[in-house]
Structure 1
Amino acid sequence: MRLRTVLASTAAALAAATCLTAAGPAPAAATPAGGGRCSPSVTLDRFSDALDKTTFQGTFVGNLSALAVDRDGSLAALSDRSSLFALDARTLAPRAVTVLADEHGAELDSEGLAVDRDGTRLITSETEPSIRRYSRDGRILDRLPVPPSLQVAPEGRATANLTFEGLTLLPGGRTLLASMESAISGDSAGTVRFQTWRRGKGGHFGLGAQYAYRTDAGLGVPEVQATPDGRLLVLERGFTAGVGNTVRLYLADPRHATDTSRIEHLTGQPRVRPIAKTLLADLADCPTLGATAKQPQPNPLLDNIEAMAITGRDRGTLHVLLASDDNQNPAQTTRFYRLRVRTA
């Protein structure tokens, strides 16, 4: 989601755009060796501002809303301005960019990304909302069904720009899960719906179960990623003017949650069992590692963190990459964070 509350004036943004470099990423920000612990479960290894306010092949590298590991081991980084970048997994240097569009050639508010087993890309737009399947060269191949209640009003009960933000394939690749960012009309505040699709004949996805997830007060869900054992890493995020961002990482387990696909309203439903969640870390508690912020933050390391991918695992520890959406705003930063996360 583009957090418009922190956008600078158009004039300021245009002024910043004139300073962008086309030569590729700047040197990565230096961070102390070994990083530091954010909590008993999460360690921050390092961060990088290398791509902040850069361009690649004439396209602004920023507005990042999702990350995924591609079939060749590179990183796919999705901009919410209809651009999909291929990044070197180690250096983060851009290798290629693909321009995306809807069926009419219009831009998407592209927010969620999953790379399927055949290399095609599943990409959400939070405008309608929608999920489309794209070929590697950006052609639309398919479009998934969306429950009427999750569509933006007046067609449905969702609020524009607060719909499908996170997208992930569960282990085995047969189930796709998308997370709504905020509650729909008729559901209690802080109760968001996670929608699934099941792969059927011909590889097409049909609607599956739906679950309730309860966020902390004032926070939404910008990203979700499936762990190898079928649980979920869930990012919760909020912004308060003059204070900055709140970003928390949770481990969630949908296995015993109630299927809410046939429950119209989730207000006053005591028998609905939401997805269970456990706090892994509040990122405000991470070491700063020398980071600086361009606006007030409870920790200068923080920014508008919106993208997440699990890039590997080692002896029960997940390697997790986060990225912030700078909204092409001089007061924000495109920043990558490398974490080690224990889920046992």
Structure 2
Amino acid sequence: MRLRSLRTLLATVTAGLAAATTLAAAGPANANLSKGNLPKGNACSPAVSIDGFSDALDKTTYEGTFVGNFSALAPNGDGSLLALSDRSALFSLDRRTLAPKGVVPLADEKGAALDSEGLAVDSDGTRLITSETEPSVRRYDRDGHLLGGGLPVPDALKVAPAGRATVNQTFEGLTLYPGGRTLLASMEGALSGDAAGIVRFQTWDRRHGQEFRLSAQYGYRTDSGLGVPEVQATPDGRLLVLERGFTAGVGNTVRLYLADPRRATDTSGVENLTGQGDVRLIRKTLLADLVTCPTLGATARQPQPNPLLDNIEGMAITGWAKGRLKVLLVSDDNQNAVQTTRFYSLRVSLRVRV
């Protein structure tokens, strides 16, 4: 554990919470290290800077459960931070120390484990969680009990042979827009029949207390060789999109984009996305390639173009003030000895045109 980096991370998130309004219940907080001790030159790009990282939870256990395999993060209503493991478990983390406070197992209607990937928290505390297996979006209470049936999923997005999706390339990201009326899930990879690199984002809408119903769907083009592990709605109605890839012997590529689906074509009735101008895809602007971030003294157990990088998969917006977001990332260590469970604290400017 790098104590200085951990304290820096927690101090940064605390500042974000103090500034936030609608996002007041957010991530870890600790002010043990003053900002005067932050390393100089912590910019990753003109739009993104990194304030710290923490390996505090790497290769630890809590109540007999391995702490790691994290695929998603979300602020919780009680001020804690929720961290979703893709091994069908949901952790609650202390906001000051990142220490686990609780863990609940998750299961489907038959009691089987999930390939749990995406997480959003509704205003009443309901946890909305995706599983890549089918794929699915299910609702759970605070204790991990399943609430009713899952949300409807278009047939084309289901894993073959039921649909056109590839195993382990379905609903990775999940986000609830401000106001709670629209939910969006991002596919990690392209459907069979769609052009390589074009993935679909599915939305559900609800009104006046009704259940979520299928709504618009959009196409999003990833960079070559990358997939979408996470997406988060910004306070102004745009999206932060993580793109990630891995090359053996080289390491991870992780890029953060600002995207705007508001003028994109609804692709729910489009069978094949060719990328040849048949539809308007979601527009995006690169905020930062994280390989350009300062290392902050991080080390890696496998080759990486920047030792700070790992298999970053989870993202949460923890604060918002004056056009800048506080963003928390986490890597999925896959319970692998050469990978690391690492948290990252970023500041992200929204004063960017898409």
Task: Give the root-mean-square deviation of aligned CA atoms.
Answer: 1.3
- Using the TM superposition, give the Cα deviation of residue 171 of structure 1 relative to its aligned residue in structure 2, in angstroms: 1.4
What letter corresponds to residue 163 of structure 2 in structure 1?
G
Identify the residue that residue 133 of structure 1 maps to in structure 2.
Answer: 139
CA contact (8 A) 1:29 1:49 kept: no
Change over 3 Å in CA distance of 1:30–1:319 after alignment to 2: closer
| Number of the residue aligned with 2:152 | 145
Residues 280-322 of structure 1: per-residue CA shift (max 9 Å, x gap)? 0000000000000000000000000000000011221100000
1:163 aligns with 2:167: no
Report the equivalent of 1:101: 107
1:31-78 Cα offsets, whole Å, 9 max, x none, are 783240000100100000000000111110000000000111211000
Q: Secondary structure at the match of 2:215?
A: strand
Q: CA deviation at 1:199?
A: 1.2
Equivalent residue in structure 2 for 1:239, among 234, 246, 255: 246
Query: What SS is found at the alignment partner of 1:203?
Result: coil
Instruction: Please say if 1:54 is aligned against 2:48.
Output: no
Task: Indicate whether 1:82 and 2:88 are aligned.
Answer: yes
Query: Are residues 1:338 and 2:342 paired?
Result: no
State the 1:200 CA deviation.
Answer: 4.0
Is the Cα–Cα contact under 8 Å of residues 198 and 275 in structure 2 kept in the other structure?
no
Show the counterpart of 1:293. 300
Distance in 2 (alpha carbons) for counterparts of 1:28 and 1:103: 42
Deviations 1:198-256 (A, max 9, x none): 11454311100000000000000000000000100000000000000000000000110
Aligned AA (1:157): R
Q: TM-score, normalised by structure 2?
A: 0.88
Is 2:116 the partner of 1:110?
A: yes
Q: 1:309 pairs with 316, 334, 337, which one?
A: 316
Whether the 8 Å CA contact 1:219–1:238 is kept in 2: the answer is yes
Q: Residue 43 of structure 2: which of 34, 37, 40 is its match?
A: 37
- Per the TM alignment, residue 27 of structure 1 is displaced from its structure 2 partner at its CA by 6.3
**Matched AA of 1:34:** L
Tell me how far 1:106 sits from its aligned partner: 1.0
Residue 119 in 1 paired to residue 125 in 2? yes
**1:95 & 1:63 partners in 2: Cα distance?**
17
Q: Residues 177-326 of structure 1: matches in 2 within 5 Å?
A: 177-200=184-207, 202-267=209-274, 269-326=276-333
SS at match of 2:278: coil
Structure 2 gaps, min length 5: 9-36
Alpha-carbon shift at residue 88 of structure 1 (Å): 1.6
Q: Which amino acid aligns with 1:321?
A: L
Alpha-carbon offset, residue 104 of structure 1: 1.1
Distance in structure 2 (CA, Å) of the matches to 1:104 and 1:258: 37
Aligned length: 319
- SS at the partner of 1:84? strand
Query: Structure 1 vs Structure 2: percent identity of aligned residues?
Result: 74
Q: Distance in 2 between matches of 1:27 and 1:289?
A: 10
**Given that residues 164 and 178 in structure 1 are in contact (C-alpha distance below 8 angstroms), is that contact kept between their aligned partners in structure 2?**
yes
SS in structure 2 of the partner of residue 37 of structure 1: coil
Q: Counterpart of 2:267 in structure 1: which amino acid?
A: T
Q: How far, CA to CA, are the matches of 1:42 and 1:124 in structure 2?
A: 28
Unaligned regions of 5+ residues in structure 1, if any?
Answer: 1-25
| C-alpha distance in structure 1 between counterparts of 2:103 and 2:183, whole Å | 25
Query: Is contact 1:164-1:181 (8 Å) kept?
Result: yes
Q: Which residue of 2 aligns with 1:11?
A: none
- Conserved? CA contact 2:258–2:285, under 8 Å: yes
Moved segments of 4+, more than 2 Å:
26-35, 200-203
Write the letter of the residue equivalent to 2:288. A
